[in-house]
Amino acid sequence: MSEEILMDIKKDYVLSKLRDGERIDGRRLDEIRPIEIETNLISKAEGSALVRLGDTQVIVGVKMQPGEPFPDVPDRGVIITNAELVPLASPTFEAGPPDETSIELARVVDRGIRESEAVDLTKLCIEEGEKVWMIFIDIHALDDDGNLIDASALAAISALLNTTVPAERFGLGDDFPLPVRNLPVAITSLIVGERYLIDPTRDEMSVGNRIITITSDKDNNIVAMQKSGSYLLSEQKFYELIDVSVEKAKEVRELLKEI
């Protein structure tokens, strides 16, 4: 109960600040929280990354193993993305099978990577129709202070960037770096009345779960979108959000280039 009352108080605070065009943490409306990316911290994984987006923390591990290709694309590697919102990351997360939020999170991250063709899957064929490399991208939330989607997407591409294909371990020749050729970046905005807040925090989300995620690639194409939450979006705002998200993604992409 106290949690609910607190949320109501926070909501009033967020809204009153916003009436003056301000955010509770002093950021500009389109300002992303400070980002830190740490890679290669799990030596058991083929690739890994921890992303801190403000106080939100997500770790992504990439594991690879040979497996069967899909019959319709016999010469391509396979990507499988999964997200676990473990109870350690938030008082509102519960243990158990993935709920719709974690399924949506995994699928939105997956679409960005898949549709931007970030990984050159044609280079991951071992034996056409028989054996290809499978990439398991596992998203593990550690601390949910809002906008897990963008943090997860960033951690996923960061982890892929430092993934080594473990060919030696499976007796398939020398290890080689995973061929990554695109840098998708997801930008999520919270819609509050006539305004929108980029990269919302947990406290800001108290005004209502009304978000849209727009993922763009290194050529500024849109590669994935997801409107999420019970609300209606005006066409005008939709167009604005597309433009802003593509611009913001450029800033974040600069960080990826340093990995």
Partner 1 sequence: MNEMDEDLEIKKEYIQLIVDGKRLDGRGFEELRPIKIEAGVLKRADGSCYLEMGRNKVVAAVYGPREVHPRHMQEPSKAVVRYRYNMAPFSVEERKRPGPDRRSVEISKVSREAYEPVIMKELFPRSGIDIFVEVLQADAGTRTACLNAATVALVDAGIPMRGLITSVAVAKVDGVLVLDPMKEEDNHGEADVPFAFVIRNGRIESIALVQMDGKMTVEEMKKATEMAKKGAMEIYALQREAIMKKYAAVEIEEE
Residues that bind partner 1 (CB under 8 A): 70, 72-73, 76, 80, 82, 98, 100, 103-104, 106-107, 111, 114-116, 212, 217, 220-235, 238-239, 242-243, 246
Min separation Cβ 210 and partner 1, Å = 9
Min separation Cβ 219 and partner 1, Å = 9
CA gap 238, 242 in Å, rounded = 6
Nearer to partner 1, 17 or 237 (CB): 237
Nearer to partner 1, 20 or 100 (CB): 100
Handedness of CA 112, 115, 119, 125 (dihedral sign): positive
**Are residues 166 and 175 in contact, defined by beta-carbon separation less than 8 angstroms?**
yes
Nearer to partner 1, 50 or 108 (CB): 108
CA gap 164, 166 in Å, rounded = 6
Residue written as token pair 């960061």: 158
Nearer to partner 1, 175 or 243 (CB): 243
Min separation Cβ 232 and partner 1, Å = 4
Q: Phi/psi at 193 (nearest 5 deg)?
A: 55, -125
Min separation Cβ 174 and partner 1, Å = 27
CA gap 215, 200 in Å, rounded = 16
- Residues near 252 by beta carbon (within 8 Å), at least 6 away in sequence: 32, 35, 154, 185, 187
CA gap 173, 166 in Å, rounded = 9
Min separation Cβ 185 and partner 1, Å = 14
Min separation Cβ 113 and partner 1, Å = 11
Write out the two tokens for 154: 């960033």
Nearer to partner 1, 16 or 220 (CB): 220
Nearer to partner 1, 176 or 231 (CB): 231
The neighbour count for residue 245, using CB atoms within 10 Å, is: 24
CA gap 35, 50 in Å, rounded = 10
Q: Which of 148, 220, 133 is nearest to 188 (CA)?
A: 148
Nearer to partner 1, 11 or 107 (CB): 107
